[in-house]
């Protein structure tokens, strides 16, 4: 695969070479800036907690930097780092660390002045959506979060999850159908 297309994104140096170069902090920093929101959203979509999602996103980029030489196709960096974040989030869910951090965060949160009615309605709405999303089977929830929430293309999600694109589309359809039923 020619590296000419990637040269524009790394100051004239093909992206693969610039990622693999030892210092490469500038190029990697650029990739972090470009992808930090989507990586955070992937983690948040799976964990439902800001602090946990921020930790997972940071850990995903640390791992990506440490293992950057194993990235075979640098043009797929976003899918690769999202996969890392997804796996870290799953590990976090399994370990129970999420519950401990949520309790610590709730204990240290400071109250602010807000419209109580508006806050109650917003929390109720978000809680309904979260409960409905959480009640979905993990495979459907994953497809929904990555495609509908994050806006990733089914082809990128398929590559990230290692499944056919048709399977992603099917899971997305089933997830949307289940959400409609749950929220009606």
Q: For the residues 138-152, what does the mean pLDDT come to?
A: 85
3-state secondary structure of 14: coil
Q: What fold is seen in the domain 112-184?
A: Arc Repressor Mutant, subunit A (1.10.10)
pLDDT digits (tens, 9 = 90+) for 4-60: 333 333 444 444 454 444 445 568 888 999 999 999 998 888 888 888 899 999 999
Name the 3-class secondary structure at 20. Answer: helix
Give dist(CA 133, CA 112) in Å, integer. Answer: 28
First to last CA, the chain: 49
Rounded distance between C-alpha atoms, residue 68 and residue 143, angstroms: 26
On the CB side of 56, how many CA atoms lie within 13 Å of its CA?
A: 33
> What was the pLDDT predicted at 84?
93
pLDDT tens-place string over residues 71-129? 888 888 998 999 899 889 888 877 765 466 667 776 666 555 657 778 788 888 888 88
pLDDT at 3 over 60: no
For 101-105, 145-149, 150-154, 161-165, which range has the lowest pLDDT when averaged over its residues? 101-105
- Evaluate whether 148 touches 172 at the Cβ level (below 8 Å): yes
If 0-12 CB within 10 Å is exposed, 13-18 middle and 19+ buried, where does residue 157 land? buried
Buried b / exposed e over 21-46, threshold 16 CB at 10 Å, is eeebeebbeebbeebbebbbbbbbbb
d(CA 30, CA 8): 13
Between CA 74 and CA 141 the distance in angstroms is 27
**Does 146 have pLDDT greater than 70?**
yes
CB atoms within 10 A of CB 181: 9
- Which of the listed CATH numbers 3.40.50.850, 1.10.1740.10, 3.20.20.70, 3.40.50.80 matches domain 10-109? 1.10.1740.10
Write down the residue that tokens 């989507």 correspond to: 38
Name the residue ranges covered by the structural domains of the chain. Answer: 10-109, 112-184
């Amino acid at each position: 695969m020619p590296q000419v297309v990637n040269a524009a994104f790394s100051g004239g140096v093909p992206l693969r070479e610039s990622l693999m170069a030892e210092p490469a902090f500038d190029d990697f920093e650029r990739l972090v800036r470009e992808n930090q929101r989507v990586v955070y959203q992937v983690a948040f979509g799976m964990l439902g907690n800001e602090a946990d999602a921020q930790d997972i996103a940071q850990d995903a980029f640390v791992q990506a930097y440490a293992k950057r030489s194993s990235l075979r196709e640098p043009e797929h960096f976003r899918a690769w780092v999202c996969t890392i974040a997804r796996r870290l989030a799953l590990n976090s869910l399994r370990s129970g660390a999420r519950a401990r951090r949520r309790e610590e965060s709730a204990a240290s949160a400071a109250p602010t002045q807000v419209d109580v009615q508006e806050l109650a309605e917003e929390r109720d709405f978000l809680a309904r959506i979260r409960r409905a999303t959480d009640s979905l089977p993990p495979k459907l929830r994953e497809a929904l979060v990555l495609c509908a929430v994050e806006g990733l293309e089914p082809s990128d999600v398929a590559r990230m999850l290692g499944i056919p694109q048709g399977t992603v589309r099917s899971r997305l359809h089933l997830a949307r159908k289940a959400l409609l039923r749950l929220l009606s």
